[in-house]
Amino acid sequence: MEVNPGWKQGKFFMSRLFVEELGKAMVAPLIQKHQHLPQTPSSAGLLPVRAANMALPSVMVLPLLIVLAAGVYYIYNEVMQFMSKSLVRNKVVVITDAVSGLGTECAHLFHKGGARLILCGTSWDKLESLYDYLTNDADPRETFAPKLVILDFSDMDSMENVVAEVVECYGCVDVLICNSSMKLKAQVQSVSLEMDRNIMDINYFGPNTLAKGVLPTMISRRSGHILLVNSIQGRLAVPFRSSYAASKHAAQAFFDCLRAEVEEFGIVVSTISHTFINASDPPPGEEPAPKPNTLAAFITSQLTHGVRPSVLANEIMQTVNRKKKEVVLAHPIPRVALYLRSLFPSFLFAVLAAGVKDSVLAEPMQ
């Protein structure tokens, strides 16, 4: 039987009306209830408040991250300082030129950490004064009385006996810190051959001989750390310091070779390249002031801008604890100069030559 199409359409229309009416009947009470609610200020401004609450955490993210990072950094430093004391405790540590500003700072840090110190220097009176300074307020239950050894790198004939005396103090050496250094500022033609040899003895042959002397005990124990306190001029030469830079370049090369040769025995060799060591309050007139408004003179002066002994001593302690192999402790200008030396040497040579003074007096600086 054929169904009338008009009837089907009418049936669909009636069904649609029924659904719409049913929906109105269900929703109408809810709408009326909402319309009769009191419009308080809090409900009226609910949406802006929620938006503000959502925006507030996003604004606080950066300060919270900064505070969190600062807290982590503080805790890290405290932990490292605590560990530094335990890592050097009972270790036999040799410090050359211990009576210098840097040597005294290193002696204080390692003695406080419980190391068995062997302090070397050229003056017995100064070594005894340093001994009294370290032991007067020290707790004998936590620290060891340092041993004192006369060591003069300019007297190479006595080095064999000195090395034997150092090793006999405790029978071994765990950490050797080669700190001795002699500086010279002079024109090349004004430096005598005797002065060149003296600088090479103190800056190169001395640390070389001492390292070779303690090396057998480290190899037999398959443990040890040799640290050279070198100079940025072991990697970058500066005008009027030819002999000094040559000795530091030689020392850098020697300890770089030594590092590769003894690594299989578990021995760590570190070099710290720093700028000149300053006192806390450097005396005026120690370095000639650069010419005003001269870029070349400014860069040349920055290449020899120094660091405080306390800062360098802390870096030495961290290098020993973390077994770093190479450290460059310098300001931005010397660091940039190192990259220029490798990437744009001609430009650096031109800048250094432009900053050269007409004349300079040769004077050894201790």
With a CB cutoff of 8 Å and minimum separation 6, the contacts of 268 are 224, 225, 226, 323, 325
Calculate the alpha carbon distances from 96 to 7, 90, 248, 320 in Å.
113, 19, 16, 16
Token output for 158: 């006595």
Distance CA(102)–CA(268), nearest Å, equals 22
Distance CA(50)–CA(239), nearest Å, equals 68
Our answer to whether residue 131 is catalytic in this structure is no
- Which H or E element spans position 262? helix 242-262
With a CB cutoff of 8 Å and minimum separation 6, the contacts of 316 are 106, 109, 177, 227, 229, 272
Cα–Cα nearest to 142, from 134, 133, 132, 151: 134
Residue of 76, 133, 170, 244 marked active site: 244
Distance CA(118)–CA(93), nearest Å, equals 6
Distance CA(294)–CA(237), nearest Å, equals 20
Calculate the alpha carbon distances from 16 to 9, 61, 197 in Å.
11, 54, 111
Helix (H, G, I), strand (E, B) or coil at 94: strand
Residues designated catalytic: 244
